[in-house]
Amino acid sequence: YRNQALYIVEEIARTVDRIIRNTDRPVVIVVQGDHGPGSELRWDNIQLTNKIERHGIFNA
């Protein structure tokens, strides 16, 4: 998971840099996820899933 997180952070940073570099006007960039992490997701038993964690949304 750590390597995946590091990879996506680097990809987001490169993408944001490229957008800013290739525009002549001010931009607004929203980085957003559609759901929270699944570190406590239990596909086999939804009652044991941490629903607060899973339903949290990442916005930056």
Band (pLDDT 50/70/90 cuts) for residue 16 is: very high
What contacts 53, CB < 8 A, 6 or more positions away? 36, 37, 38, 39, 40
**Encoding tokens for residue 16?**
């944001």
**Where are the chain's structural domains?**
2-55
pLDDT band (50, 70, 90) for residue 18: very high
Indicate the pTM of the whole model.
Answer: 0.60
Take residue 25 and report the two structure tokens written for it: 């006007």
Task: Name the nearest CA neighbour of 30 among 19, 46, 44.
Answer: 19
Short-list 3, 16, 1, 9, CA closest to 58 = 9
Question: What span, in angstroms and rounded, lies between the C-alpha atoms of 21 and 19?
Answer: 6
